[in-house]
Amino acid sequence: MKNNNQPVLSGSLRIKNYSIYYSDTAFFKVKIIPLSRIASGEEEFSYDKIFNGRVIGLLSNALNSSPTETGLFRASVLARSSAVAIELENDSHFPSIFQGVDWEADYTIRSQRV
């Protein structure tokens, strides 16, 4: 389909996954907050995905220690980009260092002119 170099302005962007690159990190939360909940006064409602640095089977996962890891953490969002807020939070004394963020989404054109 030719669009004669015109921008596509009608569509829906749905975020599927959110990936966080971290280094020397022991703890953080990814808070996924639907904006409809904030508008209705339910600000405390969110979906929390927690990373705690503990990976089963690694030597750094020992008792009485706080292991730090480097890697990639993925969280599923599954919401329209205009209807969600995503926050990274660390409310503990453990360290967290973020290197970057990627997101994966689907874009759907809502209507087409003929």
Q: Is the pLDDT of residue 2 over 60?
A: no
| pLDDT digits 0-9 by tens, 49-100 | 999 877 766 666 667 767 788 999 999 998 888 889 999 999 999 899 999 9
Q: Are 21 and 100 in contact (CB under 8 A)?
A: yes
Q: Are 28 and 96 in contact (CB under 8 A)?
A: yes
| pLDDT digits 0-9 by tens, 18-31 | 999 999 998 999 99
Nearest to 10 by CA among 82, 80, 107: 107
Average pLDDT estimate for 97-112: 88
Q: Where are the alpha helices (DSSP H) in the chain?
A: 35-39
Q: Is the pLDDT of residue 5 over 60?
A: yes
Tell me the whole-structure pTM to 2 decimals.
Answer: 0.74
Using 50, 70 and 90 to split pLDDT, how confident is the model at 103? Answer: very high
Q: Is the pLDDT of residue 15 over 90?
A: yes
